[in-house]
Amino acid sequence: MDNIISESLLRPNWRKVAYGGMQPGFDDNHTDESFLEDMVMNANVVKRDILKVMQDSVSISQYLCIVTLVSLVWAHTLQSTLDENSLLLLDASLFGSGFLVLLLTKEMRSLNLLFHYILNISFFTTGLYMLAPIYHPLTRSISSDSIWAVTVTLVILHLFLHDYSGSTIKAPVALKNPSLTSCVSLNASVVASVFIASRLPSRLHVFAIMLFSLQVFLFAPFVTYCIKKFSFRLHLVFSFGLMAVTLALVYTLHHLLFMLLLGFLVFISVVCPYWLIRIQEYKFEINGPWDEAKLCFNVTD
Give pLDDT tens digits for 277-289: 888 777 777 776 6
For residue 11, name the pLDDT band (cuts at 50, 70, 90): low
Q: Give pLDDT tens digits for 35-86.
A: 666 677 766 667 778 888 888 889 899 999 999 999 999 988 888 888 888 8
Q: How far apart are CA 200 and CA 140, in angstroms?
A: 10
Using the Cα atoms of residue 39, residue 49, residue 229 and residue 262 in order, give the sign of their dihedral: positive
Give the C-alpha separation, 266 to 229, whole Å: 25
Domain boundaries, the chain: 52-164+178-280
Cα 193 to Cα 8, 133, 155, distances in angstroms: 79, 15, 9
Angle at 54 between CA 49 and CA 60, to 5 degrees: 140
Most confident of the following: 121-125, 177-181, 245-249: 245-249
For residue 286, the cross-strand partners are: 41
pTM of the model: 0.77
Question: pLDDT digit string (tens) for 196-210?
Answer: 988 888 888 899 999
Q: If you average pLDDT over every residue of the chain, what do you get?
A: 80
The span from the first CA to the last CA of the chain, in angstroms, equals: 60
Euclidean distance between CA atoms 282 and 4, whole angstroms: 47
Question: Quick check: helix, strand or coil at residue 47?
Answer: coil
